[in-house]
Amino acid sequence: MNTTYIENETSATTTGHKLTAQDAELVIETMRDTLYRVDTAGHLIYASPSAELLTGRSMSELIGMDISELYMHPEKREEFLRRLSEDNGFLDNYEVELRHKLGHGIWVLINVRYFQHKDGSIGGIEGIIRDITPRKQIEQALDYEREKAQVTLKSIADGVITTDLHGRIEYMNPMASAITGWNHATAKGLNIQDVYQPRAEADSVQIFNPVKECLRNGTSIVDASIRLIVQADGHVFAVRDSASPIRNRNGDTIGVVLVIHDVTHIREMARKLAYQASHDAQTALLNRAAFENRIATALNKSQLQGVTHVLCYMDLDQFKVINDTCGHIAGDAMLLQIANIMQSFVREGDTIARLGGDEFGLLLESCSLERGIAIAETVREAVANYRFVWKEKMFEIGVSIGIVTLNNNSGDVADVLSKADSACFVAKDKGRNRLHIYREEERGLSHQHREMHWVHEIQQAFQENYFCLYIQEIRALNSDDLVGDCHSEILIRLDNGEDLVPPMAFIPAAERYNLMQKIDRWVIQKSLEKLADLHARHELAGIYSINISGASIADRSFSDFLLGALDEYTVLSKHLCFEVTETAAILNMSNAIKLINGVTERNCQFALDDFGCGLSSFYYLKNLPVQYLKIDGNFVQDIHNDPVGYSMVEAINNVGHVMGLKTIAEFAENEQVLEKLKEIGVDYAQGYVIDRPKPWLYP
């Protein structure tokens, strides 16, 4: 918009008439744009009336002012003059920010030129100024939103790609670049199908591109299935994607936005959880649940095709000796070695699983009984010839194997496992380290014989004083907060002179045949007598935990016995803590609460054992007035390798602390586990890394 300063008289108007000086003055006074003239010294020598409204200054303030004082940034004046000179004295549409008298900025558009004196010399500059502040504010707002959108797109965890109407890439954020392996500069302008090439997860075959489908249908495409993006270097991303049309104000599709959600980590976690759900943590073999699924498939195959399979139930001999002598770490190491030995002597396609403890299962598919016996005998010999060495100690291991044939006349999974277990029991009963083939008349013998055997052992233990008490330290992990807080658990064993039998060997039979109440009373009575003796000799210090079974909790007469005993030994109250499992407490909630209240009223403490194994642990916890939570050892034993176990221990510990309870972690078997427990903030730990059970009372 080139303009000259209007003199007293101007040339023709659009009507062909001459514009008088009066008309010109009227135009200048009413126009919104501002005319101005500056001399060579940079002083304002003329401004039209609109300058007052534009700058907030009166005409008397403006005339003679150094024009640089009107600039929001005075250095811009030098840039303006340089540009004017470079453009031969004419400058169109130059944007600059002026300063209002009140201090705020005014964005203006300047069109300017040099003017000359009559002698031809340059007298200064003249031009017209237009206020563009509203437009500039809108532009700045748009720039801010655009910048904010760009920053947002760059920082979000999802990949974002936008294309035009023809599927050509216009933009991709850094995450999209990371997933596809293409940078924005290289990919811009390319067809989306050349850059984003999703494949099906199952067979890695390239599948349709959602952008193309979105452009064709004009609708959003959302698919929950996982796709794979394979980069040029072979790196694979697992993703879920969605494509939506970009529309203008008229509703016309002008492009597509593709959102790519990286689920690689989630996919790997799901795979890991699925693996953990079907495999044994110690041996990496299939677990019982997965093994039962394999048996079910084999049985179905037998029914449909008449195929014969062989199932072996294998129970290690002398495993408890190693566990009790060397600890769980040694036991776990031996189980892993045994698992490797077994795998090396079976056929490819056969299935070995750890069924629990020292019991293994072997499924020989499409196998005759004769061939199955030969394979089982090979496994038995390999295990028998194996020597387990731990810290300069050597152990011989045997395995008893029960064998059953699976055919179209076999029962269900539980039935064939029961038969194999019965055959295994017969093998052990006949001298161990041998095979035995199941016969129908042996059905159910293993479970019944085992339990009746232990019932006899328990009764004899009471008669011959075979029961004894061991003790194991429970150590405070934060010595600064728990100085002097000694804590131990009293444990029962059965010592018949030949074997030292752990409780889990005979407790199931005691529970089934109502002998637990008698065992609990024996443990409590003997413990109180021993503690009273220590007190009399001034050797009693710290807290001693005593276990109470679910059977005793359910027995109302037991409460009278326990509270009566505590009333007799009142001097011991502050040294006693009783433990009951979470499951037993929940199943007998009213009795448990009554007993716990009675015990705590006598200044004793109570602990909830095996916490976390139940599905409703946290719900019931608020109803049980206990002082300690013993975290289920299954969560603890592998927390240095297992993020799920770590999270469970952390959650239980946090909830316990919120409720004002102290937490105790069982199965602390090594220093790595101990460090993780300290990291989480667990109060106490119990396990072989701290202390092994040692004799405390032999009658």
612 shares its domain with 657: yes
d(CA 298, CA 294): 6
The pLDDT value recorded for residue 19 is 61
Q: Is the dihedral of CA 214, 217, 218, 220 positive or negative?
A: negative
319 shares its domain with 418: yes
185 shares its domain with 242: yes
219 shares its domain with 340: no
What are the structure tokens assigned to 455, written together? 């019932």
261 shares its domain with 295: no
Average pLDDT over residues 468-477: 94
The pLDDT value recorded for residue 449 is 59
Has residue 344 got a pLDDT over 60?
A: yes
The pLDDT value recorded for residue 483 is 40
- 288-305 helix and 413-429 helix, angle to the nearest 10 degrees: 110
Q: Which amino acid is at 57?
A: R
Q: How confident is the model at residue 376 (pLDDT cuts 50, 70, 90)?
A: very high
The pLDDT value recorded for residue 8 is 37
Q: How confident is the model at residue 202 (pLDDT cuts 50, 70, 90)?
A: low
Boundaries of domain holding 680: 466-500+516-697
Q: How confident is the model at residue 223 (pLDDT cuts 50, 70, 90)?
A: confident
d(CA 306, CA 292): 20
- Asked if residue 273 is part of any domain, the answer here is no
The pLDDT value recorded for residue 193 is 87
Question: What is the CATH number for 109?
Answer: 3.30.450.20
- Asked if residue 667 is part of any domain, the answer here is yes
Has residue 9 got a pLDDT over 50?
A: no
486 shares its domain with 625: yes
Q: Is the dihedral of CA 554, 555, 560, 563 positive or negative?
A: negative
Task: Characterize the bridge pairing of strands 393-396 and 159-164.
Answer: unpaired
Q: What domain count does the chain have?
A: 4
Q: How confident is the model at residue 135 (pLDDT cuts 50, 70, 90)?
A: confident
- Asked if residue 561 is part of any domain, the answer here is yes
- Exposed e or buried b for every residue in 469-486, given b needs 16+ CB within 10 A? bbbbbbbbbeeeeeeebe
Q: Rg (Cα) of the chain, in Å, rounded?
A: 44
- Asked if residue 510 is part of any domain, the answer here is no
The pLDDT value recorded for residue 251 is 84
Secondary structure E strands in 319-397 = 351-356, 359-364, 387-390, 393-396
Q: How confident is the model at residue 415 (pLDDT cuts 50, 70, 90)?
A: confident
Has residue 315 got a pLDDT over 50?
A: yes
546: CB partners within 8 A, 6+ apart: 490, 523, 524, 527, 576, 577, 578, 579
Has residue 484 got a pLDDT over 80?
A: no
pLDDT tens for 573-619 read 999 999 998 778 877 888 889 999 999 999 999 998 888 755 445 66
679: CB partners within 8 A, 6+ apart: none
d(CA 161, CA 182): 11
199 shares its domain with 261: yes
- φ, ψ for residue 301, nearest 5 deg: -65, -40
Q: How confident is the model at residue 205 (pLDDT cuts 50, 70, 90)?
A: low
439 shares its domain with 294: yes
pLDDT tens for 519-553 read 999 999 999 999 999 999 999 999 999 999 988 99
pLDDT tens for 429-446 read 778 899 999 887 655 555
Has residue 410 got a pLDDT over 90?
A: no
Q: Contact, 669 vs 687, CB < 8 A?
A: yes
- Asked if residue 4 is part of any domain, the answer here is no
244 shares its domain with 363: no
Give the residue, 136 or 450, on which the prediction is more confident. 136
The pLDDT value recorded for residue 2 is 40
- What phi-psi label fits residue 341: left (phi over 0), alpha (psi between -120 and 50 degrees) or beta? alpha
The pLDDT value recorded for residue 528 is 96
474 shares its domain with 427: no
447: CB partners within 8 A, 6+ apart: 418, 421, 422, 425
The pLDDT value recorded for residue 320 is 72
Question: What is the CATH number for 568?
Answer: 3.20.20.450
Which percentage of the chain shows pLDDT scores above 70? 89
- Exposed e or buried b for every residue in 534-549, given b needs 16+ CB within 10 A? eeeeeebeebbbbbbb
- Asked if residue 54 is part of any domain, the answer here is yes
pLDDT tens for 289-314 read 899 999 999 999 998 888 999 999 99
113 shares its domain with 176: no
How far, in Å, are 126, 321, 329, 473 from residue 691 at the CA level? 97, 18, 13, 6
Average pLDDT over residues 197-221: 78
Task: Report DSSP state, residue 440.
Answer: G
Average pLDDT over residues 491-515: 84
Q: How confident is the model at residue 154 (pLDDT cuts 50, 70, 90)?
A: low
The pLDDT value recorded for residue 375 is 94
Task: Report DSSP state, residue 650.
Answer: H
Closest to 359 measured CA to CA, from 450, 442, 275: 450
pLDDT tens for 232-244 read 888 888 888 889 9
Closest to 415 measured CA to CA, from 424, 426, 406, 402: 406
The pLDDT value recorded for residue 617 is 54
Helices (H), 156-263: 174-180, 184-187, 192-195, 210-217
350 shares its domain with 388: yes
pLDDT tens for 650-681 read 988 998 898 899 999 999 989 999 999 999 99
Query: Is residue 621 helix, strand or coil?
Result: helix
Q: Which amino acid is at 440?
A: E
d(CA 262, CA 235): 13
Task: Report DSSP state, residue 88.
Answer: T
pLDDT tens for 76-105 read 888 888 988 888 889 999 999 999 999 999
Average pLDDT over residues 373-402: 90
The pLDDT value recorded for residue 454 is 80
Average pLDDT over residues 263-285: 82
What is the pTM assigned to this prediction?
0.45
Query: Is residue 615 helix, strand or coil?
Result: coil
Helix (H), strand (E) at residue 164 = strand 159-164
d(CA 528, CA 564): 12
Q: Contact, 509 vs 456, CB < 8 A?
A: no
Question: What is the CATH number for 337?
Answer: 3.30.70.270
Closest to 157 measured CA to CA, from 268, 262, 267: 262
Domain boundary among 268, 296, 327: 268
